[in-house]
Chains A and B, each alone.
Chain A
Amino acid sequence: MTAIRSTTRQAQRIQLRRRPWGLYLAGLLVVFLAIAAIAPQLLATHDPYALDYPAALQGPSWAHWFGTDESGRDLYSRVVFGAGQSLLIGLGAAGVAIVLALILGSLAALAVKPAAVVVDRFVEVMFAFPALLLALLLIAIAGPSALTEIFAVGLGTAPGYARMIRGQILAAKNSGYVEAATALGHSSARIVWAHILPNALRPLVAVFALSVGQSIVWSSSLSFLGLGVAPPSSEWGALLDAGRGYIIQASWLEVIPGLVIVAVALAATTIGRHLQAHLEKGEK
């Protein structure tokens, strides 16, 4: 018995040693972002709003790590100061999406038959609209702002997750555990609480991480269309919107914020995947 356990542990250790760099890098980036969100003054090199007209439109250099924009503002500092707002939008939208998806998915899977069908159809209706369309509709109603973006992106991405959660809950409902529990005479409430929900919700943490990455990308797409947070905010999407006109003369203004967004989305996805893999291993 001990031999088997020690072999298992040895196998785990080997697996641990092969832990990929990607996760470490992602973690580092998350730490950096957290600092940037809470105390940007610690990381920034300049005041993000300080105008310096003689220094306008300079490329990356030692004085300005990411270069300057048309008003002489330091792009690196703007990116750092924008992290807080962008992350807030990303986290907020992911949160809205998950909460909505939870409510809709659970209702569709667990409620009384007619109600469940109605909710399921409702989710299908929302799913019938491509995500950006839903977001555009909401923005057209409420006007572009950070709050609207959060709800718009959350609303747009929720239906996909709702279906996923519904599937999860249905799978749990039809699993062996639940059959046994029903046979044993446990109450429905107890079955839902003790068996279905934990199994269904376990992958949510991973999904949340994935969703954050997706939300940041979607919300910056809206800003790119001019429908998100507007300049002079240093929110990353706003930086993309502002940089569009300078693509030929000062491409760093568009390429670098884009790179930052891609890196953050990638970090979120990496963490999410590792969480998923970890959870899967734990479940076996």
Chain B
Amino acid sequence: MTPISSNSAVSSGSPVATRLVLEQAPKVPSVRRTSRLRLVVLTIGRKLISAVVVLWGAATVAFFAQLALPGDRATVILNIRDGQAQQRTAAELAPIRAEYGLNHPVLVQYWDYLRGLVVGDFGTSYQQFRPVTAIIGEQLGATVTLSLTAILFAWVLMVVWVTLTAGRGSRVRSLGALVDVVVAGLPAYWLGIILLLVFALGLRWFPVIGGTGLNGLILPALTLAIPLAGFMAQSTRVEFERALDQPFVVSARMRGMSDTGVRLRHVLRHATIPAVTLSGWALGSTLSGAIIVESIFSRPGIGSVLVAAVNSQDLPVVVGIVTLVAVFYVAVNLLVDIAYTLIDPRLKSS
């Protein structure tokens, strides 16, 4: 595929698509006689190492960022437990300092932390006396479910909307594009509140408190899905309309295929490529949006745990969540990257 001009990639607003396009630009000079397998393994190995570096960087950033928090941690812990904000005597703080190893120098704490990460031990929460992995493990499933469901809904909404409105009369087209843009810019909290007011409080179709049931998943997922759909629709629409003008479409129509058939069978496949690359980014975006949505719909998940932990300076929990999200995200991107490597036709043996 010839590199699409970078400007149009910009106008479709997808930095990831740009990156993908540019990486396909030929830059490797002639490959000598190396077996394909070796090349693939090398490439994957390089990507793995860089992923690990990224993760280490992320963990370090998170750890040291937390250290910059104001105030004395032992005081905070004791104050939270009592619900009173006041200064504390050293005698009161001593047992807490001992319990959490706050007496050790920072580098020692950092080293212990890294060592723990490798084994999967994120430390113990300040407030809950439980391992952080347990706390996160309980909540992660709910958030991931929400995120994946939101992406699924976004896909369905986007495909239906674009298929119906792209490439038709100029009125319909501009309306479609307008809706894309408006909807993509809707803030999650505002949309969530409107949906809550109308569908949960007004029409009583859905429960007000989310919980973990299927019924309580729909409104939160929709809140995340609608703006995402608008965003993905923008680049998909451009591709869709471009593909509609391609010769193979003309020939399909000449063969008597209906308009719907053309759209669904031929054009959709090409049009959704930018959306596929966006889905990886969408995962991070929905995880981020989940923080707000979980708050509106009282839905359990790492979002609400994170906000509460930030508020109470529960260092192990915050660092644990941030690192885990980074791991998740990097892992997914790594897999996508590896998949592209495996199917990249340029890595054939010469």
On whether A and B touch (CB less than 8 Å), the answer reads: yes
Q: Tell me whether A170 is interfacial, beta carbon within 8 Å.
A: yes
Contact pattern, B 176-197, Cβ under 8 Å of A = 1, otherwise 0:
0010011001111110011001
Known: A129-B326, A141-B68. A167 touches B19 (CB 8 A): yes
Q: How far is the CA of A167 from the CA of B14 in the complex (A)?
A: 11
Whether, in the assembled complex, A179 has its beta carbon less than 8 Å from a beta carbon of chain B, the answer is no
Contacts of B178 in A (CB 8 A): 22
User: A133 with B54: in contact, given A141-B65, A167-B15, A203-B7 (CB under 8 Å)?
Assistant: no
Give the contacting residue for A133; candidates B7, B25, B187, B288; CB below 8 A: B288
Question: Could you tell me if A261 and B69 are in contact, using CB atoms closer than 8 angstroms?
Answer: no
Within the assembled complex, what's the spacing in Å between the Cα atoms of A22 and B182? 12
Which one of B83-91, B95-103, B251-259, B305-313 is at the A interface? B305-313
Q: Which residues of A contact B34 (CB under 8 A)?
A: none
CA distance in complex: A273, B177 (Å)? 11
> Which stretch (A47-55, A84-92, A251-259) binds chain B?
A251-259
Q: Looking across the interface, which residue of chain B has its beta carbon closest to that of A165?
A: B15
| A132/B185 contact (C-beta < 8 A), A141-B65, A167-B15 known | no
| In the complex, residue of chain B having the shortest beta-carbon distance to the beta carbon of A202 | B7
A140 pairs with B187, CB closer than 8 A:
no
Which chain A residue has the least Cβ–Cβ distance from B6? A171
A80 within 8 Å of B by Cβ?
no
Interface size on B, residues (CB 8 A): 60
B60: nearest residue on chain A (CB-CB)?
A125
Assuming the contacts A171-B6, A283-B7, asked whether A128 and B310 have C-beta atoms less than 8 A apart, the reply is: no
B68 to chain A: closest residue by CB: A141
Residues of B within 8 A of A170 (CB): 22
Instruction: Count contacts on A: residues with CB < 8 A to the other chain.
Output: 56
- A138–B66 Cα distance when bound, in Å, is 9
B298 within 8 A of A: no
Q: How far is the CA of A248 from the CA of B197 in the complex (A)?
A: 8
- A136 with B187: CB separation less than 8 A: no
Residues on B with C-beta less than 8 A from A114 are: none
Q: Which of A125, A262, A266, A280 has the most CB of B within 10 A?
A: A125
Q: How far is the CA of A86 from the CA of B76 in the complex (A)?
A: 32
Task: Select one of A161, A167, A224, A266 contacting B189, CB under 8 A.
Answer: A224
Question: Which of A167, A207, A220, A254 has most chain B Cβ within 10 Å?
Answer: A167
A277 within 8 A of B: yes
On whether the beta carbons of A262 and B6 are closer than 8 Å, the reply is no
Check B7 against A280 for contact (C-beta < 8 Å): yes
Report yes or no: A121 in contact with B53, Cβ–Cβ below 8 A: yes
Kindly list chain B residues whose C-beta atoms are within 8 Å of the C-beta of A140: 65-66, 69, 310, 313, 318
Are B201 and A248 in contact (CB-based, < 8 A)? yes
Which residues of A are found within 8 Å of B21, using beta-carbon distances?
167
Which residues from A are CB-within-8-Å of B58? 125, 128-129
Kindly state whether residue B11 has any CB partner on chain A within 8 Å: yes
How many Å lie between the Cα of A140 and that of B318 in the bound state? Answer: 10
Q: Which of A118-138 touch B at CB < 8 Å?
A: 121-122, 124-125, 128-133, 136-138
A132 touching B19 in the complex, CB below 8 Å, given contacts A254-B193, A258-B187: no
Q: Is the CB of B187 within 8 A of A261?
A: yes
Shortest Cβ distance from residue A140 to the other chain B in the assembled complex, whole angstroms: 5
Complex contacts, B288 vs chain A, CB 8 Å: 130-133
Closest to A109 in B: B22
Are B307 and A277 touching (Cβ within 8 A)? no
A34 interfacial contact with B, CB 8 Å: no
- Identify A273's interface contact among B9, B69, B181, B291, CB under 8 A: B181
Residue numbers in B under 8 Å from A174 (CB-CB): 25, 27
Is A143's CB under 8 angstroms from B70's CB? yes
Closest 4 CB pairs of A and B: A130-B288, A171-B6, A258-B190, A167-B18
Which residues of B are at the interface with A, using a C-beta cutoff of 8 A? 6-11, 13, 15-16, 18-19, 21-22, 25, 27, 50, 53-55, 57-58, 61-62, 65-66, 68-70, 174, 178, 181-182, 185-190, 193-194, 197, 201, 284-285, 287-289, 291-292, 295, 306-307, 310, 313, 318, 322, 325-326, 329-330
Known: A137-B322, A258-B187. 8 other contacts (CB 8 A): A124-B50, A128-B54, A129-B58, A163-B15, A167-B9, A168-B10, A220-B189, A276-B10
Q: List 17 A-B contacts (CB under 8 A).
A: A122-B57, A124-B50, A125-B54, A136-B306, A137-B65, A137-B322, A161-B15, A164-B15, A167-B6, A170-B22, A203-B7, A217-B185, A220-B189, A224-B292, A225-B292, A258-B193, A262-B185
